[in-house]
Structure 1
Amino acid sequence: MRFLFVGDSMTIGRAGEHSWRYRMWQHLEASFDGSYEIVGPRSGPYAPEADAAPATDDGDPAFPPEAHRHLAGWGEGWLHMAPIIGETVAEHRPDVLLVSLGLIDLGFYTNSGQTVVNTHRFIAEARAAAPTIRMVLLPVIPNVRARTDAPFAAECDRFNELLAKTVADLDTAVSPLLLASRPSSYALDTDTYDGTHPSPTGEHKLASAFASAMHQGWGLGGRYEPASDEGVRVPGTGG
């Protein structure tokens, strides 16, 4: 089973920190007994030139370089991924796409209606490259901006409604789609380190959302069991 992570800054992570990709790798290691592969054209976290942290996802020496692969980018959304997902799927041949996109689109580029058009294009392009591909799509988790920007919050809610309809309308037996459940206990004050990007607890909750969807919907993998967070550095804490 070949997995491709697709996402924005919440997925790629920042140099020196863990990411939910790392938590998902731990889950895959525990659940698939080596019968899986993480694929993608990019590797590692976001590392701005001004950031002196090493360009590694975390300090776990067991996390192999090949597991760092993905198609994620800081500041990228459905708008950016839809035009390139077809060629990526054709080249890297994933069986399952784990997709977390939309917040950046709604925040800077497109409204909910325009964003869902790009979502449809993404799905169509992926299927054109691999007609039997599976996808798990995570709803947008509004960030701290939604607390004071009511129109933005409303666009997030509307997109999530459109995303749920998209999954229901486009799901097929040949190329199944799953809508992951937004973690009900996800709290910006404790599950992010800046109101947007996941802290260790948030990373586990995002990974669990994808793992639970696959386990419940397709019988893939086991129940999500979080590993210890000992030694995890949370950006901004100096830890």
Structure 2
Amino acid sequence: MLRLMPVGDSMTIGSAGEHTWRYRLWQHLCGAYGGPFTFVGPREALRDPATDEPTSYAYADPDFPRAHLAGWGEGWCHMAPLIGEAVRTFRADVLLVSLGLIDLGFYTNAEQTAANVRTFVDEARAARPGIRMVLLPVIPNIRAQQDAPFAAQVTEFNERLAKTAADLDTPASPVLLATPAPSYDIHTDTYDGTHPNASGEHKLAASFADAMWQSWDLGGPYEVRDRGNGR
């Protein structure tokens, strides 16, 4: 069985009442992947907006493998120390990673964040040498639109992430750089300028699905019918 682990920040964990891009990807792979698969990880909850804690299980549709390693306000600097144990314990085959916005916003600059990416990859491989990874760059967000120095850090980090992925990619343990949807728009694909709404969830899921399909022949292209109009 193929075991995929979603790793991320608030855009991956999601909030009470949401489907999450994890659910959208699950739906897609159920129709596109020919073998058994599941999502794995040490966490299952969503963020509860009332308490700002990851204690809610109120998914819009809870009927899917909800396991993940994601947290509201967590970044590469938080996940690098956790990924080895998580991979080892849950025997992940593929990591689907969406991180960086929090790091650049509160903890580390572009260069330091890229160094944490390398640590993350090293720790994951130490736990499972043949693990595969798909890394999503920092996607458009309201702060980058309003804060020029922050936008410059995002651009620099995404350039460094691309170089890091290319440097670390090996046949035994591939590292892919996913491509954000060119049509991703913070005004129509998020509910607050940062966090995805339903259409944004589909576009994030598509970034991961298309990367795995194009590079590994895993699954299939994320069709227009999968992207939907918010349901």
* Residue aligned with 1:41, SS: coil
Q: Is the 8 A contact 1:138 1:181 kept in 2?
A: yes
Q: Secondary structure at the match of 1:46?
A: strand
| Residue 56 (structure 1) aligns with | 58
Q: Distance in 2 between matches of 1:160 and 1:80?
A: 19
Q: How far, CA to CA, are the matches of 1:50 and 1:132 in structure 2?
A: 39
The worse-fitting range, judged by mean Cα deviation, of 221-230 and 144-153 is: 221-230
Please name the residue that 1:3 is paired with.
Answer: 4
* Distance in 1, Cα, partners of 2:227 & 2:119: 36
Other structure's SS at 1:146 match: helix
Task: Give distance in 2, aligned partners of 1:57 and 1:152.
Answer: 32
Q: Which residue of 2 aligns with 1:171?
A: 169
Residue 99 of structure 1 is matched in structure 2 by: 97
Structure 1 counterpart SS, 2:69: strand
Tell me the distance in 1 between the aligned counterparts of 2:151 and 2:70.
24
Rounded Cα–Cα distance in structure 1 between residues aligned with 2:96 and 2:159: 19
Aligned to 1:199: 197
How far has the Cα of 1:57 moved from its partner? Answer: 1.9
Shift of 1:48: 4.1
Count of residue pairs brought into register by the alignment: 226
Task: Show the counterpart of 2:81.
Answer: 83
- Equivalent in 182, 196, 204 of residue 180 of structure 2: 182
Q: Is the 8 A contact 1:40 1:69 kept in 2?
A: yes
- Pairwise CA distance, 1:32: 2.2
Question: What fraction of aligned residue pairs are identical, expressed as a percent?
Answer: 62
- Say yes or no: does 1:29 pair with 2:30: yes
Alignment of 1:38-77 (within 5 A): 38-50=39-51, 55-58=57-60, 60=61, 63-64=63-64, 67-77=65-75
Secondary structure, counterpart of 2:181 in structure 1: coil
Contact 2:77 2:113 in 1 (8 A): yes
Q: Does the aligned pair in 1 maintain the 2:3–2:91 contact within 8 Å? A: yes
Q: Distance in 2 between matches of 1:157 and 1:168?
A: 17
> Match for 1:125 among 123, 126, 136?
123
Instruction: Let me know the Cα RMSD of the aligned residues.
Output: 1.6
Q: State whether structure 2 residue 109 is matched by structure 1 residue 108.
A: no
Q: TM-score, length-normalised on structure 2? A: 0.93
Q: What displacement does 1:227 show? A: 5.9
Gaps in structure 2 of 5+ consecutive residues: none
1:17 matched to 2:18? The reply is yes
Q: CA deviation at 1:120?
A: 0.4
Q: Segments of 4+ in structure 1 off by > 4 A?
A: 227-230
SS at match of 2:188: helix
| TM-score normalized with structure 1 length | 0.90
Q: Deviations over 1:136-186 (max 9, x none)?
A: 000001310112211000000000000000011110000001000011110
- 2:29, 2:219 within 8 Å by CA — same for their partners in 1? yes
Residue in 1 that maps onto 2:212:
214
* Other structure's SS at 2:105 match: helix
For 1:147 and 1:101, locate their aligned partners in 2 and report how far apart those are by CA, in whole Å. 18
Given that 1:103 and 1:142 are in contact with CA atoms closer than 8 Å, whether structure 2 keeps it comes out as no
Q: Identify which range, 150-159 or 27-36, moves more after superposition.
A: 27-36
C-alpha change, 1:54 and 1:112, in structure 2 (3 Å) is: closer
- Distance in 1, matches of 2:88 and 2:216, equals 23
Q: Is the 8 A contact 1:22 1:57 kept in 2?
A: no
Asked if 2 retains the 8 angstrom alpha-carbon contact of 1:170 and 1:177, the reply is: yes
Structure 1 counterpart of 2:116, one-letter code: N
